[in-house]
Amino acid sequence: MVQYRFQTHSAEETSQLAKRLAAHLLPGDILAMTGNLASGKTTFTQGLTSFFEIKEYVLSPTFTYINEYHSEQQDIIHIDAYRLSSGEELIAMGIWEYYDSGAIVIIEWAEIVAKAIPEDAFGLNFRTIEGEENGRDILIHSPRALELGL
Ligand SMILES: Nc1ncnc2c1ncn2[C@@H]1O[C@H](COP(=O)(O)OP(=O)(O)OP(=O)(O)O)[C@@H](O)[C@H]1O
Ligand SMILES: [Mg+2]
């Protein structure tokens, strides 16, 4: 695992960072996101989908658990595990089929379903920066070295 650390100072900057990462992603990559409410997980996901020219607006799928986005370039599966109780629940929902589908799979609240996340997934941790309302600390654990333009 290689670790990259960023600080962003607006939602737009977080979205830009997501686009930089998106340029290095491959079909089948899994992004396991952790971090508190409103720390930027969905904002980052919106940056990813816009890189792949997915036109639909990406909402936090908290009430549906799984949203599927399709584009000519790349399918994306966006999962919000906030209301799930365990990895077993995600497995019962068919997560392995998504992993094998060639889609990029993004999972918010990955810590809740940790047992259903492969070891070679990307780990993205989001944290608010104390004393800076729009500041976010974003830590990326990558299974391979990336040129993210640090
Ligand atoms: N640097 C920043 N990066 C990302 N979002 C930011 C930043 N600064 C302010 N914001 C705001 O913080 C909020 C982040 O919300 P978002 O839905 O992305 O969080 P989340 O981690 O997905 O939350 P949840 O756990 O509820 O799903 C948005 O309203 C966004 O505009
Ligand atoms: Mg969210």
List, as one string, the DSSP characters of 90-103. HHHTTHHHHHTTT-
- Would you call 20 helix, strand, or coil by DSSP? helix
Write down all domains in the chain, each with its CATH number in brackets. Answer: 2-136 (3.40.50.300)
In the prediction, which pLDDT does 65 show?
Answer: 87
What helix, strand, coil percent values describe the chain, rounded to 5?
Answer: 25, 30, 40
**Whether 102 contacts 27, CB under 8 Å:** yes
Q: 11-22 vs 41-51: helix axis angle to the nearest 10?
A: 50
Is there an atom of ligand 1 within 6 Å of 108 CB? yes
Q: Which atom of ligand 1 is nearest to the CA of 36?
A: 25
In the prediction, which pLDDT does 147 show?
Answer: 85
In the prediction, which pLDDT does 62 show?
Answer: 61
Is there an atom of ligand 1 within 6 Å of 38 CB? yes
Look up residue 8 and give its amino acid: T
Q: What is the rounded radius of gyration, in angstroms, for the C-alpha atoms of the chain?
A: 14
In the prediction, which pLDDT does 149 show?
Answer: 66
In the prediction, which pLDDT does 61 show?
Answer: 63
With a cut of 70, list the residues of the chain below it in pLDDT.
Answer: 60-63, 149-150
Q: Which of 39, 46, 125 for a ligand 1 pocket mutation test, highest count of atoms within 8 Å of Cβ? A: 39
